[in-house]
Chains A and B, each alone.
Chain A
């Protein structure tokens, strides 16, 4: 178990290093001269040259990389090129917003996906299962931002049940926080709900055919207890999807945050990419990859707990 943990952490760190380094070079190659975006079109060549020198952009790319990389290793992601505030502070300010929405969406997806998945798994030919199948086809394909627009039109503009835009911190008002993240979380969660339900249903149908389920029934276990056995065996695929969805949700959150005007990392990503604020973009990439690694690590732990056979391989 210890070796398993270490191995997973090592590969996570490797992934973090590779992805952030690749993003560094990609950003510098793609953006080229960021001073144009940072200063705007009205800047004089002299102003741009001054900023160019101040940011150290005249140094060879590898020198710049090493400078950034060696600081990043110590947890220092530098300062924004726009307002020279520390990158970590700006990101730390916004992470709670995005995490609120993404975690709420994940919890929603897990809970509803579980409920619908089990209900349809127990009656795979039933009406609910058929509705799920149709719904999953469409809902999986529709992008979160499209769903957001529909939700805003319906619940915020028409019915006015929820605020259309804005974010209320949890520390300020719990109910305000909840109603400010409900619509974005639902928008993000919808496709995840049907994906998880679908995985769970398929898993249920597969596992129910297994010999040991018949043997468990032959021992006289109640349907409820047999269902728990089936659920445990059917859940790994659904959990894997949940973890993959989490990564997707972090990306999908960018557009959704802009629609709902939430001050999360999505807005920061958009503004930083528009003006070419590379240190912010690199910091955002690092944070996102850290979340991905953490979620995958948690997934491995949970999968190992569910089925110990996984651990022994």
Chain B
């Protein structure tokens, strides 16, 4: 059935088995499953289990309280409620099954086709799905019920049709995601037909979400079904819960138990389905819940402690930033992970320090924890952190944050993802000036305009009125630099400020940072993986690897005589990179010219 040479991830028997055994280890999931199975079995074997004929009328039983012979008593017509409840389970489960089946049959193929083929197929299917969602379903159901003489199966098929958009949406998004996976392309290139690819990969990809959606849909379908029956739609000869609830509703004031039994049965069934679905969804998405702050404080990270690395150059009182023996630990579901393992570094006013290392070396984490900008899962400990010569490591959160935007400025890496897409650039620049620096609206606007001019933006008014998506990456980075220096900080921290930019813009941005640093007399800490940047702008450099400082020194010394082989390797890689880049550009230009002429 499936081609063994193109295995789809997450599919296959072993994965399925693992999911099952994981499901069975969740008490909530198991309980829900057991309850649901019990109800299904009760419905299936109702003729064997029911002590009485559900339609047998015994006038002495009318509105009778529960007794040994009649576990739940009798309804207002004198019928045994327990027997009717069992038969009602049968109707309920059957109806939900019909609705789910129709929903799957209509929604899943359309969703997979729309996601896989895209284009016109997608547009047509999606607008049909949207249309169905805006149809007043209850009115249509009532019309169908009136016309078909309340044929229950047809009614539940209609319910299923209204459930199809739910199946459509999840199948479409799964198919879209899988479509982009390389193994699907591989299968296509290998000559598999669309049908084979759809069969081999799509079916497996949508399986789990469809099962989860079905748990949800079954619950909703049961609700609609019982609601319709409550309104009096259904066959009088087959007992169902909605009918029973209606009966109970009418005598609610005097005999609440008659209403209670079927309501409890329906509530229990729907809750069981919902918990089954959510347990499955949890297992499949494996969403990691963030650690709560309280727990974070209570437990100190349990990781091995290694000696501190790095060298401090300046006395505390002469430093703009000083970090002593910094450790950063992340809490993950698989235990604690230490990403910075004992880092010491410092920078003095007017000095430019580079922190260099490959990605994952802990350089960004070092500066984030120094500024107290780590995400909630991150945990910092240090022998001491000083900003402007003052210890800040033990300051309360609010006081620590008061340093940001006033004494410390931060320039991020990705210009486009660091501007809030919902606000104009003007708002984002003036908001801190007004709320942190207490400038008036006009003063803040004036300051924003002048600082934008300073960072090389010629038409500040247009940029201030623009939204982030309306400006280029280079422009956005200038805006971010403007935002970082607008508060006239004494320390500027730039995290890979040029990495995301075009080569031509990189040099300009570095030049701008250098100028601003000299003009304001700021200390500048620049995080980068590129020794070219270090050579351009830095006075001193700390080389990091695996969360430790391998080497610290003046830039010329390090370039001339790298003490650590890793440093030498990084320098070589950076230089190679620039060289090959130039070669590449030259070759490309030449090729372009040849083609054009």
Contact = CB atoms under 8 A, between A and B. Distances in A.
B593 to A, nearest CB: 36
A126 interface: yes
A211 B414 contact: yes
B146 A309 contact: no
Nearest to A215: B418
Interface in B195-226: 216, 219-220, 222-224, 226
Nearest to B404: A220
A7 to B, nearest CB: 13
A138 B406 CA distance: 48
B283 to A, nearest CB: 14
B150 to A, nearest CB: 10
Given A216-B420, A218-B404, A153 B143 contact: no
Interface stretch (A44-52, A79-87, A141-149): A141-149
B438 to A, nearest CB: 12
Q: For chain A, which range describes its interface: under 10, 10 to 19, 20 to 34, or 35 or more residues?
A: 35 or more
B420 A233 contact: yes
A220 B400 CA distance: 10
B73 to A, nearest CB: 17
Contacts of A205: 290
B487 A220 contact: yes
A211 B413 CA distance: 9
B131 A15 contact: yes
Nearest to A288: B136
A215 B410 contact: yes
Contacts of A149: 245, 249, 259, 263
Given A152-B252, A209-B375, A219-B436, A288 B139 contact: yes
B226 A146 contact: yes
B240 to A, nearest CB: 14
A229 interface: yes
B342 interface: no
A32 to B, nearest CB: 7
Given A15-B134, A281-B139, A218 B410 contact: yes
Interface in A131-158: 133, 137-138, 140-146, 149-150, 152-153, 157
Interface string B278-309: 10000000000111110100000000000000
Contacts of B373: 214, 217-218
Nearest to A143: B223
Helix, strand, loop or mixed for chain A's interface?
helix
A269 B142 contact: yes
A307 interface: yes
Interface string A241-275: 00010010011101100110000000001100110
Interface stretch (B115-123, B264-272, B534-542): B264-272
Contacts of B483: 215, 219
Contact of B469 (A217, A293, A309): A309
Contact of B435 (A126, A225, A233, A244): A225
B431 to A, nearest CB: 7
B267 A220 contact: no
Given A30-B143, A215-B410, A221-B405, A145 B230 contact: yes
A71 interface: no
A187 interface: no
A153 B258 CA distance: 12
A211 B417 contact: yes
Contact of B139 (A232, A284, A308): A284
B333 interface: no
Nearest to B263: A149
Contacts of A138: 270-271, 274-275
A290 B185 CA distance: 44
B133 A247 contact: yes
Contact of B146 (A31, A140, A208): A31
Interface in A2-28: 15, 18-19, 23, 26-27
A212 B419 CA distance: 5
B389 interface: no
Nearest to A306: B422
A271 to B, nearest CB: 10
Contacts of A281: 139, 142-143
Given A15-B131, A254-B138, A157 B253 contact: yes
B134 A212 contact: no
A251 B139 CA distance: 7
B226 A30 contact: no
B256 A157 contact: yes
B412 A31 contact: no
A289 B292 CA distance: 45
A124 B290 contact: yes
A293 B133 CA distance: 11
Nearest to A255: B227
A270 B131 CA distance: 23
A312 interface: yes
B386 interface: no
Nearest to A236: B422
B402 A142 contact: no
Contacts of B435: 221-222, 225
Contacts of A220: 401-406, 432, 436, 487
B410 A285 contact: no
Contact of A270 (B135, B137, B142, B403): B142
Given A19-B134, A157-B252, A221-B435, A30 B147 contact: yes
A289 B136 contact: yes
Given A210-B417, A211-B414, A215-B418, A244 B133 contact: yes
Contacts of A146: 223, 226, 263, 266-267, 270
Contacts of B401: 217, 220
Contacts of B469: 308-309, 312
Interface string B435-469: 11000000000000000000000000000000101
A274 B133 contact: no
A59 interface: no
Contacts of B263: 146, 149-150
Contact of A217 (B135, B271, B273, B404): B404
B164 to A, nearest CB: 15
Contacts of A306: 422
Nearest to A221: B432
A225 B263 CA distance: 46
B405 A218 contact: yes
A281 B142 CA distance: 10
B146 A221 contact: no
> Considering residues A214, A215, A251, which has the most beta carbons from chain B within 10 angstroms of its beta carbon?
A215
A26 B135 CA distance: 13
B134 A309 contact: no
Interface string B474-495: 0000001001100100000000
Nearest to B279: A137
Nearest to B409: A218
Counting from the closest, the 9 A-B pairs by CB-CB distance are: A220-B405, A30-B147, A143-B223, A125-B292, A273-B142, A218-B410, A251-B138, A141-B219, A141-B274
10 contacts: A141-B216, A218-B409, A219-B431, A219-B436, A221-B405, A232-B422, A251-B136, A274-B142, A284-B139, A292-B136
